[in-house]
Structure 1
Amino acid sequence: MCWCLAGLCGARILPLSDSSSTSESFDVMDYGAKGDGMKDDTDAFSKAWNAACSAKGSPEMIIPSGNLFSVGPLQFTGPCESNDVHVNVEGDILGPPPSSWDGARKETWLVFSHINGLTINGSGKIDGHGPAWWAQACREWKGNEICANPTAFTVENSSDVRVSGLNIVNSQQMHVAVEQSTSVTISHLTIEAPGDSPNTDGIHIQGSSSITIEDCNIGTGDDCISIGPGSSDLNISNIVCGPGHGISIGSLGKGGKTSNVEGVHVRDINMTGTTNGARIKTWQGGAGTVSDITFERITMDNVDRPIIIDQYYCDANYHCQNQTSAVEVKGVKFIGVRGTSIKPEAVKLACSTSVACTNILLDGIELKTIGGEKTVSYCLNAFGSANGQVIPKPCLN
């Protein structure tokens, strides 16, 4: 015999809702942020992050538009309950001047650490208050001057991260850094700082793999994109670069260190007024390998040194001596590099005299000086081949 409760015979019984599928929002204003550009909102940001990181489903931390938030050094730390955490940055964030850091470590400002599954997007501006830092004197370290200013925005020890849409300006030092992370996509960023601002790299990658950087506009006082040791499987495309120092692999091998970089594909790049174009730079005395590198479809407009491999890199603050060991450079392709060079020496391949550069390819190169003077190539212990039209005349062994 089948019994029915009143009014429920034949009705469909729905399952209980799964709380893990819910999506909660955590607005920094609800945690005490003022957004007036004067009150310190660091604690409110920290509380909103902790709440979002502790929530299940697809939690979202909201930084609302129409506000200017003053935020000091802060770590957004995981692991989180969810592998799908969102941070929506629509308001602007301003870093404090050096005088208000109160002894906090000055290597970083905003850090996202140990998070698996993170999306950071929005149209907000992140302003590092850079001029106050750039004017600050450097400190002495082992007889050499270095500036210990913070990196504005760092992703470290994380995976499956997407960063898009932000405007990051006037960083204290580097603007964006990705360190010890995997599967990170950075897209549609605008990164800006004056061309004479010190060490303000646009995006720096180190110790990371499966990294995509695409559709970004970068103009700073240092490398638009720099690639440090331990990096592999990098795809960089559709970048507008300038002012700045171009796109650089390195510097590598400093202090005799072993440095490896492999599998880097850079394509569809426009460089304007940069000091370098496509560059690999290593110190003498290092070890390791740079391999499987492609610079493809690069347009140069008034670039000082469009194509350069420099295995004699030495910072101005160091007194470097000749050494026999070197980072090995092999399997590097320059394909479809065209435009104008400020200097006649448009291609420079200065390789170690003890560890040659090998399997270098120049294919479809057309570089002319802006004044009409004939461009030339310089090679030292560089071996490879040239295909198609190559201007200036190649000098590879």
Structure 2
Amino acid sequence: MATATEADAMRRAVALAARALGATSPNPVVGCVILDPQGAVLGEGRHRRAGGPHAEVEALAAASAAGHDVRGGTAVVTLEPCNHTGRTGPCSQALIDAGIGRVVFAIADPTGNATGGAAALRAAGVSTEGGLLAHEAATVNMAWLTSVRLGRPFVTWKYAATLDGRSAAADGTSRWITSAASRADVHRLRAEADAVVVGSGTLRADDPHLAVRGQLVEEGEGEGEGEGEGEGAAVQPLRVVVDTHASVKPGARVLDDAAPTLIAVGEDADTGHLPGVDVVRLPRAGAGRGGLDVPALLAELYGRGVRSVLLEGGPALAGSFLAAKAVDRVIGYLAPALLGAGPAALGDAGVGTIARALRLEVTDVARLGPDLRITAFPTTSATASEEN
């Protein structure tokens, strides 16, 4: 039975894991805290980058650097220690070799090649317990767990609107519907995502940059002492433009070198004006819908190591994703303003009658300056947090 000290250590491990959101794909975010037999912290760590040391190895190294003997200690980790050799060795064996006497983890590893760490630990005589604060650990790893189960990236649709649901005024102007506080929060979402997706309409109307503000990225790169709890750990997300007819202009801001960019076009699109730009050709959407095939786009991104997508596209693209049942979370920023006319935040999502309305479960409502931020999940979506 896990102790209160181990529960506190797990909360710390979950917080450590969250600091790496946006930086570890296609791997999960993982945090680890090592305790001595009396419950004092000997070392802690997190998985910072794919290909880099896993959380358990970093925590062991931190304990060693501080001159601590971890033999007989307890490793508290958010995910079952892996049991395979990839770009790094198995964490289960590293813990065994270090002489750890007990391992407490939150959630079992669902991947076929990495699972089995708990069994390996037990076979080596290490006391092992799973399930401590499983919901909290699954929530921070929601995107990765969902992508493992579905074989596609976890998709968050973010939108900003007035209280009457308008995303722009009748003349097309939309800057700024929401406050600076809401816009700063969107940069946090971008920093936590592997890819940011917009459509050609948004590109023509707003010429967005889509990169994360430099401060968030620079803080996330910090490896030394003095890192604050609120620092992000993100690298720049992949900027993705869904542009069926390759209408993007060579001078678009999204094509600069601040972050990588992918232009998704139709199979017959002329891309001769985009030399040197990363372009992928995708099939058109079926069933009478315009644009590109959403599942094909997500499969392409998944193959590139993308496990979480922030959908910032306009109403038409959002409708296409929802019609394809490819939205796992909705985050809406609502400004206390009324327009009365102008485009709605959501276009055709394949809903023809109230009985087919896409119902959501609201899980959080927060004030950001004058605005409201509402977080909700489709009630038919078996998200990672619901399963654990």
TM-score under structure 1 length normalisation: 0.23
Structure ID, larger Rg: 1
Relative contact order, higher structure (CA 8 A, sep 6+): 2
TM-score for both structures, normalised by structure 2: 0.23
The structure with the largest strand share of the pair is 1
